[in-house]
Amino acid sequence: MKIGVAADHGGFEMKRQLAKLLATEGHEVVDFRNAVYDADDDYPDFTIPLARAVAIGDVKRGVLVCGSGVGASVAANKVNGVRAALCEDHFSARQGVEDDDMNILCFGGRTMGIALAWDCTKNFLDAKFSGAERHRRRLAKVAQLENSTMARRNDRQELQAIGPK
Ligand code: RB5
């Protein structure tokens, strides 16, 4: 499978190890950088190019690493068509694909060990979206938000209509 990887300084070493393991397993790995350790780099500079590549199909799936995995997932999910999540167990890494069609997996290089990250990665890559009607229906509701140029205005109107007072 063609897989993109990317990381800032917080995930640099884990990304390097994961890229090596993925290549050993026969995957085609595209490295969206950072190519060198830079303690001052910013995760959006690497996560967003990878997220865009996943969204347009240049790579099939992505693995992102930052210090906690939070910034990477927040940034990646701003790109239309991306469904990214931080997973720290193999059940979520697999079910995130089967039910939610997750296409980017995020890790915290400072919060997880490589053995767990690799276990999650293998489950993520082995899994396929089930295509079940209920999951398609739920994903369609999420995708609706992406497709609307009025999304922000709708957010405000909906919050006023149904949100907490
Ligand atoms: C960088 O120090 C750190 O904030 C970043 O890698 C990440 O953890 C953000 O969520």
For the chain, the domains span 2-129, 131-165
Q: Is 10 in the pocket of ligand 1 (CB under 6 A)?
A: yes
43 lines ligand 1 (CB under 6 A): yes
Q: Residue 81 contacts by C-beta under 8 Å, 6 or more apart in sequence?
A: 54, 55, 56, 103, 146
For ligand 1, whether the C-beta of 73 sits within 6 Å is no
**What is the structure's pLDDT at 161?**
74
Task: Match 């990646």 to its residue by tokens.
Answer: 76
CA distances from 127 to 20, 83, 123 (A): 21, 15, 6
Distance (Å) of CA 54 to CA 4, 62, 104, 138: 8, 7, 8, 21
Sign for the CA dihedral angle at 68, 70, 9, 14 comes to: positive
Closest by CA position to 142, among listed 91, 93, 99, 94 = 99
| Protein residue with its CA nearest to atom 8 in ligand 1 | 67
**Mind listing the pLDDT tens digit for each residue in 69-100?**
999 999 999 999 999 999 999 999 999 999 99
CB 27 within 8 A of CB 85: no
> Is 12 close to ligand 1, i.e. is its CB under 6 Å away?
no
- This prediction has a pTM of 0.92
Dist. CA 112 → ligand 1 center (Å):
14
Look-up: residue for tokens 């209509």? Answer: 161
Ligand 1 center to 143 CA (angstroms) = 27
> How remote is the CA of residue 67 from the centroid of ligand 1, in Å?
4
Residue 8 Cβ contacting ligand 1 at under 6 Å: yes
CA-closest candidate to residue 65, choices 88, 47, 83: 47
Flag the least confident range among 55-64, 109-118, 156-165: 156-165
Q: Does domain 2-129 have CATH number 3.40.1400.10?
A: yes
Tens-place pLDDT, residues 102-121: 999 999 999 999 999 999 99
Asked if residues 77 and 108 have their Cβ atoms less than 8 Å apart, the reply is no
Closest ligand 1 atom to Cα of 71: 10
Contacts (Cβ under 8 Å, ≥6 apart) of 141: none
The DSSP H or E segment spanning 22 is: helix 12-24
